[in-house]
Chain A
Amino acid sequence: MRRKWLSVLCLLLALILPACSSGSGTKAADTKVSKVSDMKGTVRVALAGWKLENGLDPLTGNETIGLKQYLKETFNKMYPNIKLELYEIPWENVKAKQTAMLMSKDVDVLYTGGAFASQWYQEGLLRDLDDLIKNDPDFHKEIYLEGIWNNSYSTRSPDGTKQFGIPAVLGRRLIVYDKKLFEDWGVEPLSEKPTPAEILEKAKKMTGKNPKTGEPNYGLYWSGNSLNGSTFVALCLAFGAKGAEGSLKDIKNIKWKLNTPEMVKVMEWLKEAARLAPAGFVNGQGAENFGLARNNIAIGIDQTGGSTMSEYRTKKDKALLDRFAAVMNMGPKGEGWVAVDPFVMAKDARDPQAAWQVLKFLAGYETQKYMYENYANTPTLKNADFVDPEDKYVKMALKIAEVAHSELMDEANPFYMSDIVPAVNGFISKAASGNAPDIQQFLDDLQKRAENWSANLK
């Protein structure tokens, strides 16, 4: 029996390994660069989720260029005397790894998650970049989206006076709807900046048996267990529910406003909307086919358009692109929660000048272009002219980011992450099963917990 199993395994290996042998060489980067500086130094760079080696894009079958080759053809020619030590770190547990590296002074420049960067900055582990920016005539902050540059907690100190990061990659959270289902139900398309009321009203109309196909349809989808409560953030903006007043710089004296009438409206919306989504949404499931031909959900909130765009990249068929339209988020100006992953510098960077050149280059236009073309990362630039003209989802994400702003109701706020998001997700879960708690009582309780939390900090 054991021999049979081993034979099967050997056969499997024999089949797999030849299939996995490397193919032809990679395409060369087309960037023309020349030497710009004799600056010397060694810079250690920890990159969350970047790929160093060349690989294969499974969607298109094209070979992708790893960061090492890209830098060899660009940065290394521009700064031949700056030696780079690159550490490739998967996103899983990246915070623990990068925290350890910062504490042991094993790193100079990091690419990381926005919330981690904000937390490290407040813990004194990161360096302000203002002096480096001021003394560098080659750095132009105007290239970045204004909404992001001026407002992101991922790159700015809580009081907004210091810059500790440069935005490099944007998170996409837009509203996507299925035109076909709207047509089947005879519902008017969503407006360019839909309000929560419009979304709810139209979603209600499209929940049930599709009048044309007879298949069950769901009016709405959003992730009911979102780790950062992004839909809740957008609703707070839409209803003007501030949740709190004050500054993260003076976190002990934040005045909580969690049980206001505006916040009641937010929760009422969530309560009603929870009945319109597929059951799995409370666990972040149920939208596996959204953006694809088999879709049965009319409106998706906080979507990326990734599945549709991947289908397009693979098959070059625009049918799905035409079917799934993108509009802005629910905030008054179309804003929502916008995640930004920045490049930051360690407080104890060995050689800040050399580290700055590296940081600037990695967050700059050329690298953002390279990351978009090879890995479909969303840029943070005003003039991202390299974006595929068909990529309407990235374009919409950039429009949303342009009007983005940080509030106290987002992941930079520790109480928001530790208590508010789990409480709201719990509320959504109960609402989905028809057992939503009394909203005012729920919010009063949350308000009390928030006040106790602040009191304990004093």
Chain B
Amino acid sequence: MAQAGTVRTPPSRRRRSAAGQRLIFLVLLLGSVVMIVPFLWMLATSFDWGARLNITFPPRLWPEEPSLKTYKAAFMNVRMLRYIFNSLLVSAGVILVSALSALLSGYALSKLRFKGSAAVLLLALSTMMIPFEMTMIPQYLLFSKIGLIDTYWAFYLPALNYAFGTFLAKAFIDQLPSELREAAIIDGAGELAVFGRIYFPLCTPIVATMVILLFLGVWNEMLWPLLALKSASKYTIQIGLAMFTYNNGLNHQPSIIMAATTVSLIPVVVVYLFLQRFIIESIALSGIKQ
């Protein structure tokens, strides 16, 4: 009987392997420090009343004058909660519209196989190659003409064209067996029923991926919200943060800006904590890290 015992690794190789592990650990540790220290600096500064005039340099990781007054100043000068709520409203709408549009179009391109579907996909993807800076003024003029400036429809309508999502959804649905559709059609189901009852429940990973990518994208978006919204009461959180950075009388007050930034990050952290499993999958699926 062949012995299925363990194969012994020579000691020199084990040493090399252990040294390699330590090296990898050190590199990862260094990477983590590079990522974490600015975050901790931001957090420490956000509670440092002493840093309201000038950023502490060299950096301090513990506040010189610990205080919540920085947060009070942040909330009293800019309507942070309102802007966070607005950002959530915009994010929810955009996620709903974009994900649904991408899934439906991805399903159609993958399973319906109509004439010219490859050209449609190519056309949709080609829109991704036009920088937003090129289209923003015409897009603004268009929405101004149809009276949708200063409404959230200026976000929801463009969200219908989510070319990257269409591409992702098509690629994912391609992997699902077409026999499911054929069987359902034979049983008398319509296309929408086939999509809604059979394919949609199987698309959970790609839906999670889209939710994460869209949420982070919309949350961090600055330029289009700034163009599309006129009333300060409708502004999103990124515009609110920009007000801290450049507004009269609020310049050069780092601890207050850091307090505002810390608060603006809370929803992102909450989403991350709930969806962290999917985030790693989403990076693997989409190849994009936001």
Instruction: List residues of chain A with CB under 8 Å of any chain B CB.
Output: 2, 5-6, 9, 12-13, 15-16, 19-20, 22-23, 49-53, 55-59, 64, 87-93, 96-97, 99-100, 103-104, 106, 288-289, 292, 306-307, 310-311, 314, 371, 374-377
> Beta-carbon contacts of B66-89 to A below 8 Å, as 1s and 0s?
001111111111111000000000
Do A51 and B247 touch (CB < 8 A)?
yes
User: Which B residues from 64 to 123 make CB contacts under 8 A with A?
Assistant: 68-80
What's the Cα separation between A199 and B222 when bound, in Å? 42
Q: Does B223 interact with chain A (Cβ within 8 Å)?
A: yes
Q: Quick one: closest B residue to A88, CB to CB?
A: B232
9 more A-B residue pairs beyond the given contacts A51-B248, A93-B226, with a C-beta to C-beta distance below 8 A = A16-B71, A22-B76, A55-B76, A55-B78, A58-B253, A91-B247, A104-B145, A307-B53, A314-B53
The listed residue (B78, B223, B248) touching A375 by CB distance below 8 A is B248
The 5 closest A-B pairs by CB, nearest first: A20-B75, A91-B246, A375-B249, A90-B242, A19-B68
What's the Cα separation between A314 and B242 when bound, in Å? 24
The listed residue (A16, A50, A57, A96) touching B226 by CB distance below 8 A is A96
- Specify which chain A residues have a CB less than 8 angstroms from the CB of B246 in the assembled complex: 49, 90-92
The listed residue (A5, A87, A93, A104) touching B144 by CB distance below 8 A is A104
User: Which B residues from 216 to 258 make CB contacts under 8 A with A?
Assistant: 222-223, 226-227, 230-232, 239, 242-243, 245-253, 256
Q: Quick one: closest A residue to B46, CB to CB?
A: A16
Q: Which of B53, B70, B222 has the most CB of A within 10 A?
A: B53
Do B230 and A6 touch (CB < 8 A)?
no
Known A-B contacts A97-B226, A103-B137; the reply to A92 vs B245 at CB < 8 A is yes
> Beta-carbon contacts of B132-146 to A below 8 Å, as 1s and 0s?
000011001100110
Minimum CB–CB distance for A350 against chain B, Å: 15
- Specify which chain A residues have a CB less than 8 angstroms from the CB of B239 in the assembled complex: 90
- Specify which chain A residues have a CB less than 8 angstroms from the CB of B55 in the assembled complex: 288
The listed residue (A87, A292, A376) touching B54 by CB distance below 8 A is A292
- Specify which chain A residues have a CB less than 8 angstroms from the CB of B76 in the assembled complex: 20, 22-23, 55-56
Q: Does B170 interact with chain A (Cβ within 8 Å)?
A: no
Q: Which of B14-22, B181-189, B263-271 is found at the contact surface with chain A? A: B263-271
Q: Quick one: closest B residue to A100, CB to CB?
A: B140
Q: Quick one: closest A residue to B149, CB to CB?
A: A106
Give the dominant DSSP class at B's interface. helix
What's the Cα separation between A213 and B276 when bound, in Å? 53
Query: What are 11 inter-chain pairs, A to B, with CB distance below 8 A?
Result: A20-B74, A51-B243, A51-B250, A56-B72, A56-B73, A56-B76, A59-B253, A91-B247, A103-B141, A106-B149, A307-B252
What's the Cα separation between A20 and B70 when bound, in Å? 9
> Beta-carbon contacts of B26-38 to A below 8 Å, as 1s and 0s?
0000000000000
Minimum CB–CB distance for A77 against chain B, Å: 23
User: Which B residues from 191 to 227 make CB contacts under 8 A with A?
Assistant: 222-223, 226-227
Instruction: List residues of chain B with CB under 8 Å of any chain A CB.
Output: 52-55, 57, 68-80, 136-137, 140-141, 144-145, 149, 222-223, 226-227, 230-232, 239, 242-243, 245-253, 256, 263, 266, 269-270, 273-274, 276
- Specify which chain B residues have a CB less than 8 angstroms from the CB of A88 in the assembled complex: 232, 243
Minimum CB–CB distance for B81 against chain A, Å: 8
The listed residue (A56, A59, A100, A374) touching B53 by CB distance below 8 A is A59
Do A19 and B71 touch (CB < 8 A)?
yes
Do A58 and B266 touch (CB < 8 A)?
no
Q: Quick one: closest A residue to B136, CB to CB?
A: A96
Known A-B contacts A16-B263, A59-B53; the reply to A87 vs B230 at CB < 8 A is yes
What's the Cα separation between A38 and B70 when bound, in Å? 45
What's the Cα separation between A55 and B227 when bound, in Å? 25
Q: Quick one: closest B residue to A63, CB to CB?
A: B76
Q: Which of B68, B230, B246, B263 has the most CB of A within 10 A?
A: B230
Do A288 and B74 touch (CB < 8 A)?
no
Minimum CB–CB distance for B84 against chain A, Å: 11
Known A-B contacts A103-B141, A289-B57; the reply to A9 vs B266 at CB < 8 A is yes
What's the Cα separation between A106 and B143 when bound, in Å? 12
Minimum CB–CB distance for A289 against chain B, Å: 7
Minimum CB–CB distance for B62 against chain A, Å: 17
Q: Which of B68, B227, B242, B248 has the most CB of A within 10 A?
A: B248
- Specify which chain A residues have a CB less than 8 angstroms from the CB of B226 in the assembled complex: 89-90, 92-93, 96-97
The listed residue (B144, B252, B256) touching A306 by CB distance below 8 A is B252
Minimum CB–CB distance for A64 against chain B, Å: 7
Minimum CB–CB distance for A53 against chain B, Å: 7
Do B223 and A376 touch (CB < 8 A)?
no
Do A288 and B270 touch (CB < 8 A)?
no
- Specify which chain A residues have a CB less than 8 angstroms from the CB of B270 in the assembled complex: 6, 9
Do A6 and B54 touch (CB < 8 A)?
no
- Specify which chain A residues have a CB less than 8 angstroms from the CB of B274 in the assembled complex: 2
What's the Cα separation between A377 and B247 when bound, in Å? 11
Do B222 and A93 touch (CB < 8 A)?
yes
- Specify which chain B residues have a CB less than 8 angstroms from the CB of A55 in the assembled complex: 76-78
Q: Which of B74, B247, B274 has the most CB of A within 10 A?
A: B247
- Specify which chain A residues have a CB less than 8 angstroms from the CB of B68 in the assembled complex: 15-16, 19-20
Do B248 and A104 touch (CB < 8 A)?
no
The listed residue (B52, B263, B273) touching A2 by CB distance below 8 A is B273
What's the Cα separation between A142 and B263 when bound, in Å? 48
Known A-B contacts A9-B269, A16-B68; the reply to A92 vs B73 at CB < 8 A is no
Q: Quick one: closest B residue to A285, CB to CB?
A: B57
Q: Quick one: closest A residue to B235, CB to CB?
A: A88
What's the Cα separation between A256 and B132 when bound, in Å? 36
Q: Quick one: closest A residue to B54, CB to CB?
A: A288
What's the Cα separation between A100 and B232 when bound, in Å? 17
What's the Cα separation between A87 and B229 when bound, in Å? 9
Q: Quick one: closest A residue to B246, CB to CB?
A: A91
Do A58 and B250 touch (CB < 8 A)?
yes
Do B74 and A307 touch (CB < 8 A)?
no
Do A56 and B77 touch (CB < 8 A)?
yes
Known A-B contacts A19-B72, A51-B249, A55-B77; the reply to A100 vs B52 at CB < 8 A is no
